Each structure stands twice: as structure tokens, then as C-alpha cells.
Amino acid sequence: MHASKSGIAQTTAILTIVIIVLAIVAGIGWSGIVTSTSKTPSTLTTTQYQDLVALAKSEGTVTIYGQVDTAAWNQYITAAFEQAYPWAHVVYQTGTSGDNLNKELAEAKSGAVHSDVIEQLQTNFIALENASAIQAWYNPVEVMMGYPSSLLDPTNYTHPFDLNQYFLIYNTNLIKNTSVLPKSWTDLANPIWKGKLAIDDPSRMSATGGAFAILRQNMTQSQWTTFLQGVAANQPYIASSSGAVYDDVSSGQAAIGIGATTDVVSGLSKGAPIGYVWMNPTPILATPVGISKGAPDPYMAELFIEWVTSWAGQYAIGASSRPPTFGPAAQATSLALLTTPLPASYTQVQFSNIVAHNSSLYVSTYTQIFGK
């Protein structure tokens, strides 16, 4: 019996409608799993997680550009992730924050993106966001873990990784009487520290640039400029990074400096003659992670970030001597070596929020005064 023309047309119409509906549903579901930027319930259901794992497994490899040294990353972070997911392979590429930023921007511009995950300074993520080199993605794990909202990115471009606190460091062989040490950041302008102070280049907007920017919030422009000129008059060693500042202080090149908890924790474990003093306010700088736009392995990127923001990932970061963003993990690992904890009354200020969109104002002042 031949099908009538009207029957064929009817069947075709029904099939077409079904396909369209399925496509719409699949599209909603797809974006819900992969690229949803809207808030979803703060629970990660097993079904969603298993979907992500299955999709990630089809990719298998995640490529990460970061600044953590390769040995520490491979020994602690890669090892822990690959233990959790034995089928996964991590390709980690290290570099300085500046070198990596140049590479990330160039890859994004050319469309030949090789990285899946980027670990960068918070301040550099602004440049990456402006260049459309990273993509927003909602990470349910960071909500489940209960990170403080002040440490989360409301736009979902970046996700917690590690967090450095900066304090005053000093050489314990050069300074025996700790009562002479600065009590506040403004004491760095005291002429007694002439030729004895090490700071990282303020125009990099890292430890020193950030600490000075925080002070500006409670000073007039004139007061702030006078303070900066006082520090410059002390002819400090201007290092390329807080790690280099640590080197200057531990070697005895400088007696005091502005250093990072990461370096001090690592140095103390080796028996270096280094001491530290917490200052109020305490500058903090997050080094978050984000997903590259156009990442070759986006599901692996998401799986990795979900893992690294979980307790297991944060603990692995802490085991590598870097302070993870998640406070309890930090206290249990890297910060345990600091016998004098940060006083509870001290204010922690994430200076990247201060300088976020007008860093050029600070940079031009620093360049003018410090000549760098």
C-alpha cells in the first residue's frame, strides 16, 4: 500500500518538530553543563559530575600555563590530580608571569590557543579579560566549598588557586634586636633603612605596588607622594619579584624587605636566616586560574579547575609550599610553618580590587618616583 502524500508531509512535519525540540533541549542542557554563566543550585549532582568526567575522559589531556616551578607542580599537583583521575594527563608549562602573559595574549589573538588553563596574577587576568583570552564559567565547587565571597570572582572568569600574603621580612643575622623593625608600612620611609631595604618593582603591581596602593586609600595624594619619595630616598634594592626580594634579604644584601609567605615558608624549611613581621593592613594577592578562550580541551579544563578548587586540590597546592586560597587547607599545610600567625585583628586587603581598572595611575606615579 503506498503512503499518501499527505501522510508523508505529516510525518516529516512531526519529525522536524521533534528534531527542533531535541536541539533546543540539547542546547540548553549543553550550555548548562559546559558554559552556563548563570547561577545554578549550589550542589554538584553526581549526574552532572559524571557527565563532565565522561566528556573530559574523551579529551584526556589538560595543558596548563602557570608560574609555579615545574618540579613543585609535577610533584604535588600533577601527581595528586593524576592519582584522582588515573586516565588524565597534565602538561604543565611554567614561565614568569610576564612571559606567560605575552604568550597567552599572542595565542588568543592568533587563534592558535594551546593552553586549556591559565594560572596568572590577578592583575594580569584583567588584561586577559580585556583581550577576550579567557572565558567565564560557573564553578559549582567553589560555592560548595564555602570560599569567602570576597575571594571569588562574581563574573566567573577566574577561580581560586593560591593566595599570597605579604609581610615584612628581615635577615635574622643582621637584625638581632627586633624592636627596631618597622611597625607599619610608612616606617619604610624612615632614613635608618637607607641602603638596607629591598622591594619588588612597584610598577609590576605585585607585593610592593599593591601595598603602597593600599596605603593610598587612607592618605591624601600629597601624603602618599611624600611617603613614596621617602622610600625612594632610602635607595632600596628594586628586585624583579618578591622571590628576588627574599633572595636579597636572606643573602644579607638587604636587611629588610617586603616578602611573600610562599618564599618565607620555603626558606624556613631550608634553615635560612629569615624572620617576618605581619603588618596591618596585610596585602594579599590571589593567583587564580581561568579557562582559555578557545581551549583545545575545555572539559578537562573544567574538571581540573573543579578539582583544584576542592579540598584535595587546595591541599596539594599547600603541600608544594604555596598558600592555597582555601584558608583551612592553608593552615593545615604551608602556613603551619609560620609559628606566628596573622593576628585576627589585622585587615587583609586584596589590592587587585583596588587597582583593578586604574592601575596605570599607580604605575605612572611609581615610574616617576622610582625611575623604573
Partner 1 sequence: MTTKVPIAVSAIFAVLFIAPLLYFFGTSTSLNQILVALRSPIYIDAIWTTIYPAAAGTAIALAMGTIYAWIVQRTNVPYKRVLSLLPFLGLTQPGEVRAIGLVFLFSPQIGSINRLFMNMFSVSFPLFNIYSNNGLIFAHSIGGLPFAYLSMSAAIRGIDPILEDSSRLTGGSVTTSLFRVTLPLLKPALIGTYLAMIPIGMANFDYPFIFGQAASSGVNTLATAIYDAITDTSPPDYNTAGALSIIYVLIAIVVVTLFIYATRQNFKYVTVRGNQAPPTVYSLGRLGKYGALAICLWISFISFFLEAFILLLVSFVPFYTATESLIPHLTLQNYVVLFTGYPLFWSAVENSLFVSLVAGSATAILGTFLAYTVVKSKFRWAKLFEYANILPYAIPGVVYGLAMLWLFLYTPALARTLYGTVWALLIALIITWLPFAVRIMAPSMLQLSSELEEASCVSGDRWSGTYLKVLLPMMKVAMLASFTYVFLDTFRELGTVTLLTTPSSYVLTTFIQDLFTASSADLPTAAATSVFMMVVGGIFLVIASKLLGVDLLRREGSVLAPVPTQGEVPIPVQPSKDTA
Question: Which residue among 35, 53, 89, 114 contacts partner 1 (CB under 8 A)?
Answer: 114
Scan residues 315-334 and list those touching partner 1 (CB under 8 A).
321-322
Question: Which residue among 137, 193, 246, 307 contacts partner 1 (CB under 8 A)?
Answer: 246
Q: Cβ 269 to partner 1, closest distance in Å?
A: 9
The length of the chain in residues reads 372
Residues 332-371: x where in contact with partner 1 by CB under 8 A, - otherwise, as a string: ---------------------------x---x---x--xx
Q: Cβ 358 to partner 1, closest distance in Å?
A: 13
Cα separation of 351 and 93, whole Å? 27
In the numeric block, which cell numbers belong to residue 235?
635607595
Q: Cβ 206 to partner 1, closest distance in Å?
A: 9
Residues 50-89: x where in contact with partner 1 by CB under 8 A, - otherwise, as a string: -----------------x-xxxx-x---------------
Scan residues 264-293 and list those touching partner 1 (CB under 8 A).
264-267, 270-273
Q: Nearer Cβ to partner 1, position 139 or 359?
A: 359
Name the nearest CA neighbour of 140 among 66, 65, 34, 60.
34
On whether the CB atoms of residues 351 and 285 are closer than 8 A, the answer is yes
Chain mean position to CA 256 = 26
Name beta bridge partners: 62. 90
Q: Nearer Cβ to partner 1, position 144 or 332?
A: 332
Q: Cβ 265 to partner 1, closest distance in Å?
A: 7
On whether the CB atoms of residues 98 and 120 are closer than 8 A, the answer is no
Q: Does 195 bind partner 1 (CB under 8 A)?
A: yes
Q: Does 37 bind partner 1 (CB under 8 A)?
A: no
> Is the Cα torsion angle 333, 334, 338, 341 positive or negative in sign?
negative
In the numeric block, which cell numbers belong to residue 193?
633603612
Q: Cβ 267 to partner 1, closest distance in Å?
A: 4
Question: Which residue among 40, 83, 251, 353 contacts partner 1 (CB under 8 A)?
Answer: 251
For the CA atoms of 222, 228, 234, 240, the dihedral, rounded to the nearest 10 degrees, stands at: -170
In the numeric block, which cell numbers belong to residue 134?
579567557
Q: Cβ 80 to partner 1, closest distance in Å?
A: 17
How many other CB atoms are found less than 10 A from the CB of residue 94?
A: 18
Cα separation of 359 and 352, whole Å? 9
